Amino acid sequence: MGKIATGIIRTSHGVTGFLKVSSFSGETDHFYSLKSIELRHQNKPSQVFPIEQVKPYKGGILIKLAGIESPEVAKTYNGWEIWVDRQDAAARGDEEYYHADLCGCDLISDGEIIGRVVAVAQGTSSDFLEVDVNGTVRWIPFLDEFIGTVSLESRTIELRHRWTVE
C-alpha cells in the first residue's frame, strides 16, 4: 500500500513543543487516530515519531510528538511533510486524488501523450501539476478549466487546452 503525504508542519506552538499542522486535504479527523507519523524533508533522513497528543487549533490541528519538548526543537521541523500509511490517511471523495497518485500519470491531449506529471504543488488558489514536456517543465493548474478526465486506472490525465503546454 505504501505511504503518502497528508500534511506539513508549519511552525511550533507554545513552550512544550507542539507543532502546527496543515492538512493537505483540509480534513484533520484522521490525525486523531494515528499512533505515529513519519516526517520527511528534502534530502534529510526521514524520522518516525510516536504521537503523544493531537488537538484542534483555529481550523487546523496541533500535534505533540514524543521527543520534541521545546519550541526551539519544534521549529527545526518547519516545512517537513507528514507521511502515513495509505490506509490511515483521510478518505478520498469522488473526484479527489492524493498527490502521490497523480505523480507519474501521463498528460494526454486528443489521445496523444504530451508529458508526464512529476510533482504536484499547492498554490494559493489551486494545486498545480508539474509536468515534464520533452525535458521542459510546465505548470498546469489542476482546475476543471484545464483538466478533463483523470483515470488512475490507466494513469492518464486529460488536458483540455493543449496550448497551455506549448
Quote the CA–CA distance of 104 and 90 in Å, as a whole number: 21
Delimit the CATH 2.30.30.240 region(s) of the chain.
Answer: 99-164
Q: What percent of the chain has pLDDT over 90?
A: 67
Quick one: pLDDT at residue 122? 77
Structure confidence by residue, pLDDT tens digits, 80-121? 999 998 888 877 777 778 888 899 999 999 889 999 999 988
Close Cβ partners of 134 (under 8 Å, ≥ 6 residues apart): 115
Low-confidence ranges of the chain (pLDDT < 50): none
Delimit the CATH 2.40.30.60 region(s) of the chain.
Answer: 3-87
3-87: CATH topology: Elongation Factor Tu (Ef-tu); domain 3 (2.40.30)
Quick one: pLDDT at residue 100? 83
Cell of 159: 488536458
Domain spanning 99-164: which CATH class is it, in words?
mainly beta
CA 31 to the chain's CA centroid: 14
Quick one: pLDDT at residue 31? 94
- 125-152 core/surface letters (b: 16 or more CB in 10 A; e: else): ebbbbbbeeeeeebebebeeebbeebee
Model pTM score = 0.73
Neighbours of 40 (CB within 10 A): 15
- On the 0-12 / 13-18 / 19+ scale of CB atoms within 10 A, 68 is buried
For residue 151, list its beta bridge partners: 156
Quick one: pLDDT at residue 87? 85
